[in-house]
Amino acid sequence: MSILVDENTRLLVQGITGGEGTFHTRACIEYGTRVVAGVTPGKGGTLWENTVPVFNTVEQAVKETGANASIIFVPAPLAADAIFEAADAGLSPIVCITEGIPTFDMMAVCHYLRGRNTRLIGPNCPGVISPGKCKVGIMVAAAFKEGTVGVCSRSGTLTYEVAAMLTEIGIGQSTCVGIGGDPITGTTFVEALDLFQQDPATEAIVLIGEIGGTAEQEAAAFIKERVTKPVAAFIAGSAAPVGRRMGHAGAIVTGAAGRAEEKKKALAAVGVRIAESPAEIPAKIGR
C-alpha cells in the first residue's frame, strides 16, 4: 500500500500548458502516473502534446475524464483560486507546487477546506511520490525506491537527499510527502504521521523538519500518544541566527520553540531517534 497516491490516481494538471507544467507533466507520465486531463482557461478543446485533453475548468475536466487528484502549477496570485476550484470539484489530494502564495490567501484556503474531505499538500512543496506506483510532484524519480519507510518533510531538497541515501543502501520508501515550507500548509506533520501510522505497508517513518514554528513539537506530542512505529528525524537549521529567515518562508526563529535544539529535545523525549546530519538517517531508522 501507500498513502495519498497510487496506481489508481487519475491526475489532472492545473496549468499544464505553462513551462513548468509541461516539463513536470512529462516527467510524471514517464514515471507511469496516469495524467488524464489538464486545465488552462482559454485553451479548452485542445490536446497537450497531442495526448492529454485540456479543459477550461476543473469541473468540466473531472466530469469528462474521471480525474480524482490535482497538481497545481499556477502563478502565486491565482493559486488560491485554483485550489478552491479543485476542492469544489471533489479532487483529493490537491498538490500545490506553487511558491510565494500570500499568507492571507492560505488562511482563506485553510478556512475554506475546513470540514471538507479534501487533502491539500503544500503549497511550496515538491509533491508526493509512492515509489513504483505514482509520482505527483517535481521530485527526481531516480532517488526513490519502493519499500516500507514513510518520509515526510518540510524541505523538498532534503526529501530527495534522504530518499537517495536510503535507496543507495537498499531501504525503499512506501510514500514520500513534501508538506511544504510555508508558514501555513494544507497538511501538517501530525496529519502525515497519522496517515503513515494507519498504513500497514509503512513500517518506519522519517521526519525531516527545520527551524521556525512549532510543527515538530506538535509532531512529538502526536508520536507520544498515537505512533507505534519507529521514527527517525533530522532538523535542519541548527546554526541559524535568531530572527533571520533561512530559505523557506516558515523557517524563521522568532522564539525559543522555533529553534532546532528545542525541536530535537521534544522529539528525542518521546523516543524519536535524532540524526545530527542527513547522512545519519539510514542508521537511525534501524533497518
Domain boundary among 121, 147, 176: 121
pLDDT confidence band for 211 (50 / 70 / 90): confident
CB under 8 Å to 2, separation ≥6 — which residues? 130, 133, 134, 174, 175, 199, 201
Regarding whether 262 and 153 lie in a shared domain, the answer is yes
Q: Which of 248, 259, 263, 273 is catalytic?
A: 248
Regarding whether 147 and 218 lie in a shared domain, the answer is yes
Regarding whether 147 and 112 lie in a shared domain, the answer is no
Task: Output the furthest CA–CA distance in the chain (Å, rounded).
Answer: 57
pLDDT confidence band for 256 (50 / 70 / 90): low
Domain boundary among 63, 93, 121: 121
* Structural domains in the chain (count): 2
Regarding whether 166 and 116 lie in a shared domain, the answer is no
- Residue 234: CATH number of its domain: 3.40.50.261
Regarding whether 184 and 238 lie in a shared domain, the answer is yes
CA pair distance 58, 45, nearest whole angstrom: 13
**110-156 tens-digit pLDDT:** 999 999 999 999 999 999 999 999 999 999 999 999 999 999 999 99
pLDDT of residue 251: 45
Domain boundary among 121, 149, 174: 121
- Using the predicted structure, report yes or no on whether residue 40 has a pLDDT greater than 50: yes
Regarding whether 61 and 149 lie in a shared domain, the answer is no
Please state which of the ranges 4-13, 108-117, 278-287 shows the lowest mean pLDDT: 278-287
CA pair distance 164, 166, nearest whole angstrom: 5
pLDDT of residue 129: 98
Regarding whether 53 and 19 lie in a shared domain, the answer is yes
Regarding whether 110 and 163 lie in a shared domain, the answer is no
Grid coordinates standing for 43?
485553451
Regarding whether 114 and 155 lie in a shared domain, the answer is no
Regarding whether 88 and 153 lie in a shared domain, the answer is no
pTM: 0.93
Q: Mean pLDDT score of the chain, rounded to an integer? A: 93
Range 18-40 burial, b when 16+ CB lie within 10 A, else e: beebbebbeebbebebbbbbbbb
Within a domain: residue 5?
no
For 266, the domain range is 139-284
Write down the residue that cell numbers 509520482 correspond to: 135
248 as an active site residue: the answer is yes
Regarding whether 239 and 180 lie in a shared domain, the answer is yes
Regarding whether 207 and 94 lie in a shared domain, the answer is no
- Residue 40: CATH number of its domain: 3.40.50.720
